[in-house]
Amino acid sequence: MKILFLVTEDWYFWSHALKLARTLRDAGAEVVVMTRLGALRDPIEDEGFRVIPWRVVRKSLNPFREGLAFAEVVRAYHDERPDLVHHAALKPIVYGGIAARLCGGIPSVNVVVGLGYVFASQTTKMALVRRLVMRLLQIALRPTSAKTIFQNDDNRKELVKWGIVNAERALTIRGDGVDKHYFRPTPEPVGTPVVMMASRMLWEKGVADFVRAAEMVHEEGLPARFVLVGKPDPQNPGSIDESQLNAWCANGSVEWWGSRDDMPDVIGQSNIICLPSFYGEGVPRALVEAAACGRAIVTTDMPGCRDVVRQGDNGILVPIHNPRMVADAVKKLIENPPLRAHMALRGRDLILDEFSQDTVVSQMMGVYSHLLGDSWPALASDSSEGSAERPSTLRN
């Protein structure tokens, strides 16, 4: 049995799909990963997965370059003849879904990890691109041999309403799961409270709103440190320049710790996690990891974000584009340690109930089994997550 993963970046496969790929490998499948290669080719191959380089550029809209990227996928599917293909994010879903149809109707699992920049941007150019993407998604997701996985119910309902995907072939699996052994609760640090935002440094993630909320809290004389963790993403049109991040740091508003791969330790240095995103999220990994580590959360009342936070129970939801309410929510939590402690416990319970890797991988294996029938071995009921074997390599 051969399973081929199509993703745009090797770091995405490593941080989001590694546990699933390991489970498939251990169940007897040959796993092939087609992706744009960065620094992770050797670690991926060391896992026993075969790699096919993909010359794709995430932010590209150049028709010639995109035609070449699509042709590479068609050629790979024709040559490899996988039993099932797994596509994650919009560009792989479009190119991979259409290629699967052209190559004889290969069964496909299509994971919509949020609607992203194309749907979040309000520019005229992106409105035109959005119409084209919606039409291509209809073509890619139409076959009865395709299953579409959404990470939140809002996205699923929208695409069904728009006629892009058939309701009977769409389901929700909440995120990629979190390793409950690796991300575990730790006591809050003592001293000046630390409010942390862990994310790619994108405008749509609400970084500017986080900085403005920090300024408001400082102006009102409440002691607190505001910390950004993550790096710019030049492949995303919404990426924030390092010069802007350094300017915010120079003003004393925030600290910027850059990219980190020791996220349990990093989260352990925080008292509150904040993500004022207005991005087209699926389920933000940063929030799942924060809840698993027992931290109160402030985030926006947006699809994906509100899937992780229950208002007033394990965090506080605020409207988008409203740094004043972000600041007020942060102040409320800073001034109320018992409330933070309650939210920490409730967040951890939520992760164990709904967002653990065991739960998510088992659900995904069920989808594979449905598409492949008796030819695919079922996931063993006693499968475990192991013990802290995989660090999170990049904030999403």
Give pLDDT tens digits for 49-71.
Answer: 999 999 998 877 788 899 999 99
Q: Is the pLDDT of residue 139 over 90?
A: yes
The arithmetic mean of pLDDT across residues 147-165, rounded, is: 93
**What local confidence, expressed as pLDDT, does residue 296 receive?**
98
**What local confidence, expressed as pLDDT, does residue 360 receive?**
93
Q: Is the pLDDT of residue 376 over 80?
A: no
Tell me which amino acid residue 380 is.
A
- Tokens representing 189? 């640090």
The arithmetic mean of pLDDT across residues 32-36, rounded, is: 97
Residues facing 298 on adjacent strands: 274, 316
Mean pLDDT, the chain, integer: 91
Predicted confidence (pLDDT) per residue in 98-123, tens digit:
999 999 999 999 999 888 777 777 78
- How far apart are alpha carbons 265 and 392 in whole angstroms? 11
Q: If residue 170 lies in a helix (H) or strand (E), which one and from where to where?
A: strand 170-172
For 254, other C-beta atoms within 10 Å of its C-beta total: 22
Could you give the domains of the chain?
2-177+356-375 (3.40.50.2000), 194-353 (3.40.50.2000)
Among residues of the chain, what percentage have pLDDT more than 90? 81
**What local confidence, expressed as pLDDT, does residue 86 receive?**
98
Do 19 and 361 touch, CB atoms closer than 8 A? yes
In sequence order, what DSSP letters do the residues of 61-89 get, joined into one string?
--HHHHHHHHHHHHHHHHHH--SEEEEES
pLDDT class of 374 with cuts at 50, 70, 90: low
Exposure pattern of 92-119 as b/e (b: 16+ CB <10 Å)?
bbbbbbbbbbebeebbbbbbbbbbbbbb
Do 97 and 146 touch, CB atoms closer than 8 A? yes
pLDDT class of 271 with cuts at 50, 70, 90: very high
**Which range among 116-130, 162-176, 299-313 shows the weakest confidence by mean pLDDT?**
116-130
Q: Is the pLDDT of residue 343 over 90?
A: yes
**What local confidence, expressed as pLDDT, does residue 373 receive?**
84
pLDDT class of 386 with cuts at 50, 70, 90: very low
Alpha helices for 5-62 (secondary structure H): 10-12, 18-26, 41-46
Query: What is the end-to-end Cα distance of the chain in Å, rounded?
Result: 31
φ/ψ of residue 7, rounded to 5: -140, 155
Nearest to residue 69, comparing CAs of 91, 38, 37? Answer: 91
